[in-house]
């Protein structure tokens, strides 16, 4: 059901709209970080305010537990810092003790790699569309929804990297 239908239904809701997950580095770049000490993304020097999935979960729990306080609200959930992929590579390098590089690749190279990995055309186009939005700056907004809802500051990328360093070794 599209969000406007939920909004118009009269059913109480709380929408969470998270930015790029920090854990995506484990799920999508972890293999090449482990094998090549690098990750490959078509984002040029785009900055993204990555958010930790644990923070998204904390916001969801508060919205459920505190109920009517959060009814009919939409929370844009993002991190407290906008980082380039070069910066994330440096932070991951510091956390793991090994040099990790970010390699900017073309959309064509990305499409070819995803095709080779067995992704369907719809998903490939969706992912490439996200990276295009990143390059235009649409994911760089720094937001405070995590702190506003939970009372705790959002996890920094440095904290995430320390917590998950083993996933990149």
Q: Does the global pTM surpass 0.85?
A: yes
Distance CA 21, CA 78 (A): 9
Residues 54-93: pLDDT tens digits?
Answer: 999 999 999 999 988 999 999 999 999 999 999 999 999 9
Q: How confident is the model at residue 6 (pLDDT cuts 50, 70, 90)?
A: confident
Residue 44 φ/ψ region, left for φ over 0, alpha for ψ in the -120 to 50 degree band, beta for the rest: left
Residue 94 has pLDDT above 90, yes or no: yes
- 3-163 homologous superfamily: NAD(P)-binding Rossmann-like Domain (3.40.50.720)
């Amino acid at each position: 059901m599209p969000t406007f239908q939920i909004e118009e239904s009269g059913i109480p809701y709380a929408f969470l709209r998270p930015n790029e997950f920090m854990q995506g580095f484990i799920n999508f770049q972890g293999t090449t970080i482990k094998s090549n000490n690098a990750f490959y993304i078509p984002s040029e020097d785009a900055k993204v305010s990555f958010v930790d999935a644990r923070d998204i979960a904390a916001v969801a729990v508060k919205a459920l537990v505190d109920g009517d306080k959060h009814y009919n609200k939409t929370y844009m959930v993002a991190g407290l810092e906008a980082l380039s992929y070069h910066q994330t590579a440096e932070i991951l390098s510091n956390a793991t003790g090994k040099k990790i590089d970010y390699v900017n690749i073309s959309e064509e190279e990305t499409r070819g790699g995803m095709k080779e990995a067995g992704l369907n055309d719809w998903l490939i186009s969706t992912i490439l569309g996200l990276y295009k939005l990143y390059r235009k700056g649409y994911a760089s907004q720094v937001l405070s929804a995590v702190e506003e809802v939970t009372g705790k500051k959002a996890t920094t990328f440095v904290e995430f990297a320390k917590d998950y360093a083993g996933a990149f070794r």
